[in-house]
Structure formats: structure tokens, C-alpha cells
Amino acid sequence: MTLLTILTLWAIGCIALVILNAKFWRIYPDLESDEGKEAKARNIAPVMPQTPIPRSHIIAYYRDWFLALVFVALLSFVVWLVCNAI
């Protein structure tokens, strides 16, 4: 089997999974179980309250995004320099 055949079969399988999930299976439709919905309807408080996200995690999240964007910009700049050097 060629790579194109494998990729085509994989794509068909993914499309079939999406269609079957939409019609029959409902695999994690909203990531909530029925138990959680019933608890919300009866106004039952969760056993473990939501804990706030630590400030250091928020800072690390934005720092990582910034570094990723800087890396992409530097990589784009290097590609531009190489293309213009030819």
C-alpha cells in the first residue's frame, strides 16, 4: 500500500467516525455526565470546590505563548534571509 492510500483510508475513517458519532454514539458530547447535569438541576454543590489557578501558572502560560511566537518569528526571519540570499 502506498502512503497516499493509507492517508486516504485514514481520512475516510475519520469522516466515518465523525458521522457515526453525530448520529449514534455521542462520544463525550459536552464532557459532562448525566450525574453532573442532575446535580446542577437539584442545586447540589460539588464535593470539591473549584480552586483558583495559581498566578505563577498564568504567567508561565503567557510566557510560553510569547516564547513560541518569538521562535516562529525568528524562524520566519531566517527563512526569509535564506530565500533572499539565493
| pLDDT of 25 strictly over 70 | no
Verdict on whether the full-model pTM lies above 0.75: no
Confidence of residue 30 (pLDDT cuts 50, 70, 90): low
Per the prediction, the chain carries an average pLDDT of: 83
pLDDT in tens, 33-75: 667 677 777 877 777 778 899 999 999 999 999 999 999 999 9
Domains in the chain: boundaries: 1-43, 54-86
How confident is the model at residue 49, as a pLDDT? 79
- Residue 10's alpha-carbon distances to 1, 2, 40, 47, 77, in angstroms, are 13, 12, 39, 42, 35
